[in-house]
Amino acid sequence: MIAFLRGRLEEIASDHVVLETSGGTGYEVFCHLRTLASLHGRLGDEATLHIHTSVSDDAIRLYGFATTDELRLFKLLIGVERIGPKAALGILGRAELPVMVRAIRAGDAALVATVPGIGPKTAERVILELRGKLDGVDVIGVPVAPAASTAGDMAVQGLMSLGFREPQAREAVAAALAASEGADRDVTALVARALRRLDATPVAR
């Protein structure tokens, strides 16, 4: 069982990174949006990711997280009916970990339901099954983010949670939407395109 991987960042894609370990092996590790954004601009640097290994009939996939708390929530999420690894990554990428944990504890299904591909019923199931299983995660002083009504709004909120100022975030998202003529409403892809239009280092709020 792989507990964590530490290695040099060889590639940062829209849904995964490639880490080259000391043995010269490159591992493809799937990550959520905020992890990918935090690694943006760090090609060639060393990084450490906590790993969940998923084994299916057709593939073995690695999922990586910046902290053990994120890994723990991911494992809880994929234990919920109809929540697979992709949906779990979407939930984790929707907001900072303390914000999402507080929302689940408070029964805020609306926040979970803003994740693409997760409807109100599935969001309610997540709340019902997980709200009593999140002991030990420190969420003091972090407010729950308001739900966004459109993919563009969600992308702007995502960029702001990474430290970009709202005018920068809105300009980058608008440019990303314009480049695709507004056709692509996948929030993860939208933020990835917007990030490429911004400086690699987030601006402190």
- For the stretch 169-183, pLDDT in tens is 888 888 887 776 555
Q: Considering the chain, tell me which residue range(s) the CATH 1.10.150.20 domain(s) occupy.
A: 68-130
* Amino acid code (one letter) for 144: V
Angle among Cα 5, 86, 147 to the nearest 5 degrees reads 115
Indicate whether 199 pLDDT > 90: no
Q: For residue range 70-84, list pLDDT tens digits in order.
A: 999 999 999 998 899
From the options 1.20.272, 1.10.8, 1.25.40, 3.40.50, give the CATH code of 151-195: 1.10.8
Query: pLDDT tens-digit profile of 94-148?
Result: 888 888 998 898 898 988 988 888 989 999 999 999 988 887 555 544 444 444 4
CA dist., res. 62 & res. 28, Å (int): 7
Report whether 50 contacts 1 (CB < 8 A).
Answer: no
Name the DSSP letter for residue 200. Answer: S
What pLDDT sits at residue 205?
39
User: Which residues of the chain are in CATH 1.10.8 domains?
Assistant: 151-195
CA distance 185 to 142: 28
Topology adopted by domain 4-65: OB fold (Dihydrolipoamide Acetyltransferase, E2P) (2.40.50)
Confirm or reject CATH 1.10.150.20 for domain 68-130, answering yes or no: yes
Residues of the chain with CATH 2.40.50.140: 4-65
10-24, 33-47, 177-191: least confident range: 177-191
